[in-house]
Structure 1
Amino acid sequence: MRTSTMRALAPMLLALLAGACASAPPRQSTIQSWVTTGDRSQLMQAQPALAWSETRADGPAVVVDPNQTFQTMVGFGASVTDASAWLIQTRMTASQRDALLHELFGRDGEGLGFSFTRVTVGASDFSRFHYSLADQADPTLAGFSTAPMEAEVFPTIRAALAINPDLKVMASPWSAPGWMKTTNSMIKGQLKPELYGVYATYLTRYIQAARAQGVPTDYLSIQNEPDFEPENYPGMRWGPEGRARFIGQNLGPAFQAAGIQTHILDWDHNWDKPEQPLGVLADPVARPFVSGVAWHCYGGDVSAQGQVRDAHPDKDVFFTECSGGEWAPGFSDSLMWTAKTLIVGSTTQWARGVLMWNLALDESYGPHAGGCGDCRGVVTIDSRTGAVTRNQEYYAFGHASRFVRQGARRVAVTAPEGLQAVAFINPDGSRAVLVVNDAATATAFDLGEGDAAARVSLPPRSLATFTWAALISK
């Protein structure tokens, strides 16, 4: 009798168990987290693991929605300028250099995992002297040479690639060779229209020469800050009509003829003039050759990225330059601004890659030849000893680059007033959520996905990264 009763009840019991499992909160993973505070009492410090709760309490909550997906990430990083490479190659011992590059580009759990970087094609203000790759006035480019970059820049990129083979490299010229310009100088002026074809060959040859040196060029912007003519370092003004003509009639066809797959980016300048890249993308001949738009932080609002992307949803967005400096020396203030504006803001406004300016500068904010005299690197290298100081940008970027893998997808996340957040799903399904608390007091909230939640409290003026595996119910 008992056996027959159990047999009769079995289907009902199985259904009840299945329903309980379907509604039970995920329990197979815990939440790991790391915190950096503005007072420096915690610097990317690991926190005790958090367990999921069965219910989410009423009140403030940061909630991830993995079903709403956005852009795929290339990564985070900083530029290997001439100054950065010179310091790394000549002012550090071999062991110091190896340790720093592994720390910045390594994926070993302790490294920052930088997977995106930028180099200058020829000199910038953060070079020890001004040079191009073809200083001899010759339209055949007989004297073309990447030798000035082969001493320090290329070896640094090759070493970074050996540590992280997935590293993506962007290149940007600050100026065409002086003889190609209206000023006959690398300082100020514009590219002579009759030499557009020669300049397209110049950039094509750079990509080929760099590749022969073991340095790929995944992305190229045709001009750094084309709406600015610096007084004392290389620069070149180039309006949208001229850029569109150059890309559509010269550079794009030159790349096609040479079989070059490098993605062309326009603008590479501030948020305050979205009409400039919109002007280039309005050109029907240039537009097919333009992969995306690159942005800087020195004017305007980050929302300009979204404005241009909304108009051209088939074009990528990259954030490619911002520098910390002694105009904002406070650790807490610049940590908060960088995290909110560049990590959360720029990626929320569609950036696939996010870059700081100099990877490394010395104790005197150099070396440099003109330009910024108080810019700060992601790290500071003491030119006398090789000792490394990790600056606030190191921690703001590390909270993203160490946990958001290349190929991650940004997903939707909601956050209460007073908190900023951005969320990603890595290729292995793990979640990475960065939350910024800019308030002067600690803030408590629920961190949730689906029906699961965990109670969190963030210290004042702090940022945290939370990670967990893809949630699986009991």
Structure 2
Amino acid sequence: MELLRTSQHGLVTTCLFVLTVSLLVTGNMDVWVTNSNGGDRLSQKASLSPTGSSNGFRIFVDRNKRYQYISGFGAALTNAAAYNLYHSSQRDQIMQDLFGKSGISMSYLRLPMGGTDFQGVQPYTYDDLPSWQHNDFHMDHFSIQKDKEFIIPVLKQALQINPSLRIIATPWTAPAWMKTTNSLFGGEFHNGNNYQQAYAQYFVKFIQAYQAEGIPIDAICLQNEPKHTDNSYPTMKLSWQAERDIIKNYLGPAFNQHSINTKIIIYDHNWDDTTYAGNILSDSGAAQYIRGSAWHCYGGRHDTCGGFHNQHPNKDIYFTECSGGDWAPGFNVVWGMRILSIGQTRNWAKTVMYWNIALDDNHGPKVGVGGCNNCNGVITIHGNGGMTKNTEYYIIGHMSKFVFPEAVRLDTPEYGWDDVHSVAFQNNDGSVAIIVLNPRNDRDQTFYIDIDGQHYQYTLPRESVATFTYRS
């Protein structure tokens, strides 16, 4: 993956201060703060009371203008992340910090189906064959046994802590025998009808096997970054034509046959190409089975999904991967809040997810020399079993702790690039969460939140973001 540095609409490295505010039944707003330039990390501050009028920047929250429903916020439980979590001596507390109400209540996970570049053990798929066997079209050797070592136990614990947690699953590669290179590392999908049918059954068996473990799969993507291949770690090219045909001819019908309600999501790659997903959705035979498309941050404009949604308004948008790393040292919440948490949800995303939940002090464990060698996890788990909560932990938390699954996005104004940014959501219980960002590094910004005829004034320090939850 490549982190691009682009114009003001691309990746930006300014710092930001994060703040969250919650309005109680009394009409007051409670305030939580995280900042880039100070010591506050989701720290609760003094409550706010309504003021008599509003002047200057006004964030008017319009309950009558509604957009997409939210599925959740979180990160990827890679093999490496699960390995680190499972073997930590402080695992129970860490899991509470990630998924519990006392922590940040992560609500959505991305689960690789088999190997990636981040591995605690050697990469595998669910239908690996001995060298003398060339195919397994009937999936006789399919097994999730290796996931039971530490991935499934971590998932079960996460679901016990947060039963509302949802999972999207994605393979980095098909089994080697389904590929032209007969290798998990690099190569392309072997595009014959028998391989396509077998791959559809691979997903069916995966969903059924996980369901038998008490782990429902909310959605699947057919391939992570299908335009990318690397011979140093599990990857696979999958053309849009092959993805279309698998869904249209085999996967969609197989889900119907087996009464599987798991959503089918396409693409799962960067903002810089809309033709891959667009070509698939232009085929009505495939589109009837597809719920939406998934996107990554490593190329293109961050507002791409808004335009794509306008072209395909009946299909959902999922944002599924972006990683923090050593290229952005220090504690800096600006980019993640502006481009991802606020930027993607304002551009119709139902999910916002980072890459690895938990890596070790060496950015791993990893396999091979490819992929990302300086990525950070949402948390870092140290050799003594303890952890450090990285910037991404608080960026996610300012959303997931206050915006719950099935919340609906409400309308708020859009100001200039250096002015306050905002996004708002109404939860099922009627409470409203409002996230406000001051991206400037030179001055504080004062604004009013206007909702239900009430006005709340706040001065947001430079490089800061605020989340307000309001209950009428």
Q: Same fold (TM over 0.5)?
A: yes
Q: Distance in 1 between matches of 2:453 and 2:243?
A: 51
Secondary structure of the corresponding residue to residue 34 of structure 1: strand
State yes or no: 1:84 paired with 2:81.
yes
Moved over 3 A (4+): none
What per-residue deviation string (whole Å, max 9, x for no partner) do you get for residues 431-472 of structure 1?
A: 1111111112111111222432122011111112112212xx
Secondary structure of the corresponding residue to residue 421 of structure 1: strand
Q: What corresponds to 1:437 in structure 2?
A: 438
State yes or no: 1:148 paired with 2:140.
no
Q: Distance in 2 between matches of 1:209 and 1:378?
A: 28
Q: Distance in 2 between matches of 1:146 and 1:401?
A: 30
**% same residue:** 38
Q: Note the residue ranges of structure 1 that are not aligned, 5 or more in a row.
A: 1-25
Contact preservation (8 Å) 1:63, 1:415 = no
Q: What corresponds to 2:70 in structure 1?
A: 73
Contact preservation (8 Å) 1:78, 1:116 = yes
State yes or no: 1:419 paired with 2:425.
no
State yes or no: 1:126 paired with 2:118.
yes
Secondary structure of the corresponding residue to residue 85 of structure 2: helix
What per-residue deviation string (whole Å, max 9, x for no partner) do you get for residues 288-325 of structure 1?
A: 01111011111111222112211111111110111101
Q: What corresponds to 2:334 in structure 1?
A: 336
Contact preservation (8 Å) 2:221, 2:267 = yes
CA positional deviation for 1:140 = 2.4
Q: What corresponds to 1:234 in structure 2?
A: 234
Letter of the 2:224 counterpart: N
Q: Distance in 1 between matches of 2:31 and 2:267?
A: 37
Q: What corresponds to 1:10 in structure 2?
A: none
Q: Distance in 2 between matches of 1:244 and 1:347?
A: 27
Contact preservation (8 Å) 1:32, 1:49 = yes
Q: Distance in 2 between matches of 1:33 and 1:68?
A: 25
Letter of the 1:35 counterpart: V
Q: Note the residue ranges of structure 2 that are not aligned, 5 or more in a row.
A: 1-23, 130-134
Q: Distance in 2 between matches of 1:315 and 1:80?
A: 26
Q: What corresponds to 1:99 in structure 2?
A: 93
Normalised TM-score (structure 1): 0.90
Larger helix share, 1 or 2: 1
1:237-316 to 2 correspondences below 5 Å: 237-316=237-316
CA positional deviation for 1:240 = 1.3
Contact preservation (8 Å) 2:25, 2:471 = no
Contact preservation (8 Å) 1:35, 1:45 = yes
Letter of the 2:66 counterpart: T
What per-residue deviation string (whole Å, max 9, x for no partner) do you get for residues 246-292 of structure 1?
A: 10001111111121111000001110001110011001110001111
What per-residue deviation string (whole Å, max 9, x for no partner) do you get for residues 18-49 of structure 1?
A: xxxxxxxx994111121111113211111110
Compare 133-142 and 191-200 and name the one that shifted more: 133-142
Letter of the 1:407 counterpart: E
Contact preservation (8 Å) 1:33, 1:467 = no
Q: Distance in 1 between matches of 2:230 and 2:103?
A: 36
Secondary structure of the corresponding residue to residue 412 of structure 2: strand
Secondary structure of the corresponding residue to residue 214 of structure 2: coil
CA positional deviation for 1:231 = 3.0
State yes or no: 1:115 paired with 2:113.
no
Secondary structure of the corresponding residue to residue 62 of structure 1: strand
Secondary structure of the corresponding residue to residue 244 of structure 2: helix
Letter of the 1:103 counterpart: D
Q: What corresponds to 2:15 in structure 1?
A: none
Q: What corresponds to 1:377 in structure 2?
A: 377
Q: Distance in 1 between matches of 2:315 and 2:344?
A: 15
What per-residue deviation string (whole Å, max 9, x for no partner) do you get for residues 207-248 of structure 1?
A: 111111222111000000001112311111112111111100
CA positional deviation for 1:415 = 5.0
Secondary structure of the corresponding residue to residue 46 of structure 2: coil
How many residues align? The count is 436
Q: Distance in 2 between matches of 1:35 and 1:356?
A: 21
Contact preservation (8 Å) 2:187, 2:231 = no
CA positional deviation for 1:62 = 1.8
Q: What corresponds to 2:326 in structure 1?
A: 326
Among candidates 457, 460, 471, match of residue 458 of structure 1 = 460
Q: Distance in 2 between matches of 1:437 and 1:279?
A: 38
CA positional deviation for 1:330 = 2.9
1:44-59 to 2 correspondences below 5 Å: 44-56=42-54, 58-59=55-56
CA positional deviation for 1:360 = 0.4
Compare 414-423 and 215-224 and name the one that shifted more: 414-423
CA positional deviation for 1:425 = 0.9
Aligned-CA RMSD value? 1.4
Among candidates 339, 346, 349, match of residue 347 of structure 2 = 349
Q: What corresponds to 2:10 in structure 1?
A: none
What per-residue deviation string (whole Å, max 9, x for no partner) do you get for residues 151-186 of structure 1?
A: 111111111111111111110000001111011111
Q: Distance in 2 between matches of 1:342 and 1:320?
A: 10
Q: What corresponds to 1:192 in structure 2?
A: 190
Q: What corresponds to 1:171 in structure 2?
A: 169
Q: Distance in 1 between matches of 2:384 and 2:109?
A: 25
What per-residue deviation string (whole Å, max 9, x for no partner) do you get for residues 348-399 of structure 1?
A: 01011111110100011000113211110000000x2111100001111111
Letter of the 2:447 counterpart: F
Contact preservation (8 Å) 1:267, 1:294 = yes
Compare 263-272 and 305-314 and name the one that shifted more: 305-314
CA positional deviation for 1:408 = 0.8
Q: Distance in 1 between matches of 2:467 and 2:25?
A: 20
Q: What corresponds to 2:21 in structure 1?
A: none
Normalised TM-score (structure 2): 0.90
Structure (1 or 2) with the larger CA radius of gyration: 1
Q: What corresponds to 2:216 in structure 1?
A: 216
Q: Distance in 1 between matches of 2:238 and 2:137?
A: 20
State yes or no: 1:39 paired with 2:37.
yes
Contact preservation (8 Å) 1:86, 1:153 = yes
Secondary structure of the corresponding residue to residue 353 of structure 1: strand
Contact preservation (8 Å) 1:62, 1:416 = no
CA positional deviation for 1:416 = 4.2
Q: What corresponds to 1:447 in structure 2?
A: 449
Contact preservation (8 Å) 2:171, 2:224 = yes
Letter of the 1:390 counterpart: K
